[in-house]
Structure 1
Amino acid sequence: MGSNRKETSRPVEAEYKTNSIPYRIIGLYPLAEPDPTQQIELIQAAFNEHLCNGLEIPYLSNSYRANQDRLWSSLPTGTKHVFTMITATMECIANNPQFGLASIDKEGRDAALTMMERACQTVKAINTVGNHKILAVEIQSAPSNSVQIQESISAFKHSLEEITSWDWSGAIVCIEHCDAAVRWHLPSKGFLPLNMELAALSAVCGTRVTTPAAMSINWARSAIELRNPNLVENQIRQCSINNVLRGMMFSGVADEPTKFGPAWSDSHCPPNLHRSVDLDEPRSLLTEQRIAAAKRAVGPNLLYEGVKISARPLNAPIGKRIALLRRTIELLDNANSE
């Protein structure tokens, strides 16, 4: 991808470090509604109430493609966003289990790099125009591979080396840690363990790169891996100690079936808000105390933080959805002020 190699662009970190408050991001795709018009109304209401500075957008996924033009035209000028590749990655894995940046299958890894090249070109186009900005692009160490793990690590490192050699026009590349393949339970995603992602990141950061790389943690996905919500802060702290944590997203998860899905499913259930709003989930393991513990472990150099939560029923009124978002974000703000 020689067309993307040029002088190193000014990292976005240089901009955000002038302000100690991370950008507030809301995950877009869990807010999806059967009616796209209601989804746009919900997004606009969130911005109007100053609940967020930007969205986590599922780039190249079917949900993004279906409403791409309306989405961008509805966003306030000057907002800053995060691309996540997780939905597009999982859609590709459904068709080809060997797809991914950590794939030991050449065709599967090449297909993932081609997807990332397209994402890079889109980020450059958006950030060059200037109406909106992409702060970061979240990548994943797919696919699941618990057998030839060393080969997967090597493949992922080589993918990361190539991706960070490209010019992303100020956006950074964030490895989003998803639950790893473990022996004691069936995984949801089953990607690389955190320590191996950190090792790949360290190896790449030790070389000359055009675009900075970092880590992002999703609370629920770490809880799904660890099967213990009180251990999530250890993974957060591990990234913070290495000074590579730049993204922190809060989704809930339950250890028993709920209206959001089976136990330990990655279904973006909201936190347990003790029935203070109608759409919370009382069986969620994400509580006010655990949000506060996570925030204490995060460290000072976060680029963005946010919430990625869904609501049931799917046709719940916008007002109730906004109330759920508002109350969840209040918990993050309360933790920030401690």
Structure 2
Amino acid sequence: MLLGAYALAPGDPAGEATFLAGLDGLGVQALEMPLPAPGTAAETARWVRAHLPEHVDLVVTAVPQTMQRLASDPGYGLSSADLVQRRAALDDLAVLRDLARRLADDAGRPRLAAVELHSAPGPGLGTLTAFRESLDEVLAWDLGGAHLLVEHCDALVEGQPPAKGFWPLREEIAVLQAIVDDVPGSGSRLGVSLNWGRSAIEGRSARTPVEHVRAAAEAGLLRAVVFSGAAASDTPWGPAWGDQHIAPRGSDPALEASAGSLLGAAEILETLQAARGATLEAVGIKVTARPEDADVEERLAVARASLRMVSEVLRGGSVHGD
């Protein structure tokens, strides 16, 4: 089970350390962490040694760095039509080569399980040809066998303000299929990661994540499904359709704040049914807690309740929730 721990952990180092230690026993097999800053691979590897059990793998997401850079450089990203901005995105990712080696040396095995990449900046300032060229380059790097997953974020929809506004899933799938067709062996490393909430935000519907999962699975490219919630009305997380990783709704007291979430046990089940036949490398959750000053125990309770909901659906047993 994958947990987007960085989104749920407290912001202070002491609280974060206590939170990470408290995950022991929750069945977490991999943690998602943000892309480290260039030149910090050694520091990041030391942090991993100090805070994470040796059996826990890492999934690195580039989305926090991507959104930070887009705020000041709208043309930044792997699909940028501006070669300078595309090169900047690749240079930011290059820290992964050093990090993958250091993690493997420390653990005595490959530990960087996957890297989540994004099709920023999307239509307008980007091209699919540029995205293909960027993926080709990263695919050639030695990352210790880590999977390269294009994490789909909400695409531009006419008349709708985007949270991310990257390329449509069908275009991302087409680029990946072209690489798999052209580059022998690439199909074992490339794929799509889908976040339930981000797909729901794009389509303004709980149906869209199911449709996206089915499309990626039918293309033979679905590798990960991560459950974040979304809401069609205001919640303690903010306005409707915000990309805030709302927890699922359910009967557990820890999920009381997320009663307005569109994601529940029934939606998790339907989504995973749509993924049948896919070779999934990861299933997990990425949620946040409210209030924002929630203490460590409250955050761990949200993690525990959310993980249990997904685990029970996967096992096909009774489900805490709706």
1:104 is aligned to 81
Return the offset for 1:71. Answer: 4.6
Deviation at 1:248, TM superposition (A): 1.1
- Paired letter, 1:334: E
- Pairs within 5 Å for 1:94-173: 94-130=71-107, 133-145=111-123, 147=124, 152-173=127-148
Contact 1:255/1:263 (8 A) holds in 2: yes
Classify 1:87/1:61 alpha carbon distance in 2 versus 1 (closer, same or farther; 3 Å). Answer: farther
Partners of 1:278 and 1:288 lie apart in 2 by 12
> Alignment RMSD, CA only?
2.1
Shift of 1:36: 1.6
Q: Which residue of 2 aligns with 1:336?
A: 314
Q: Deviations over 1:258-311 (max 9, x none)?
A: 111211010111011145435540111111110111111122411011111000
TM-score where L is the length of structure 2 = 0.90
Q: Do structure 1's residue 227 and structure 2's residue 201 form an aligned pair?
A: no
| CA separation of 1:261 and 1:72: change in aligned 2, threshold 3 A | farther
Does residue 303 of the first structure (1) align with residue 278 of the second (2)? no
| Runs of 5+ unmatched residues, structure 1 | 1-23
Runs of at least 4 residues of structure 1 off by over 4 A? none
In structure 2, relative to structure 1, the CA distance for the partners of 1:61 and 1:209 (3 Å cut) is: farther
Deviation of 1:189 after TM superposition, in Å, equals 0.2
Range with bigger deviation, 112-121 or 260-269: 112-121
Instruction: Determine the C-alpha separation between the residues in 1 that align with 2:11 and 2:91.
Output: 31
- Pair 1:52-2:28 in alignment: yes
Q: Which amino acid aligns with 2:228?
A: S
Cα drift, residue 204 of structure 1: 0.7
- For the residues of structure 2 that align with 1:208 and 1:128, how far apart are their CA atoms? 28
> In structure 2, what is the equivalent of residue 217 of structure 1?
194
1:35 shift after superposition: 2.2
The residue that corresponds to 1:322 in the other structure is 300
State the Cα distance separating 1:330 from its structure 2 match. 1.6
Counting only pairs closer than 5 Å after superposition, residues 1-338 of structure 1 correspond to structure 2 as 24-46=1-23, 48-60=24-36, 68=44, 69-130=46-107, 133-145=111-123, 147=124, 152-208=127-183, 212-274=189-251, 276-277=253-254, 279-299=256-276, 300-338=278-316
Query: CA contact under 8 A between 2:9 and 2:19: conserved in structure 1?
Result: no
In the alignment, the residues of structure 2 paired with residue 240 and residue 210 of structure 1 have an alpha-carbon distance, to the nearest angstrom, of 19
Aligned to 2:319: none
SS in 2 for 1:34: coil
The 1-side partners of 2:121 and 2:252 are apart by 38
Counterpart of 1:15 in structure 2 is none
**In 2: Cα distance, 1:72 partner to 1:280 partner:** 34
Give the TM-score normalised by the residue count of structure 1.
0.86
Larger RCO, structure (CA 8 Å, separation 6 or more)? 1
User: In structure 2, do the counterparts of structure 1 residues 230 and 274 end up closer, same or farther at CA, with 3 Å as the change threshold?
Assistant: farther
Percent identity between matched residues is 31
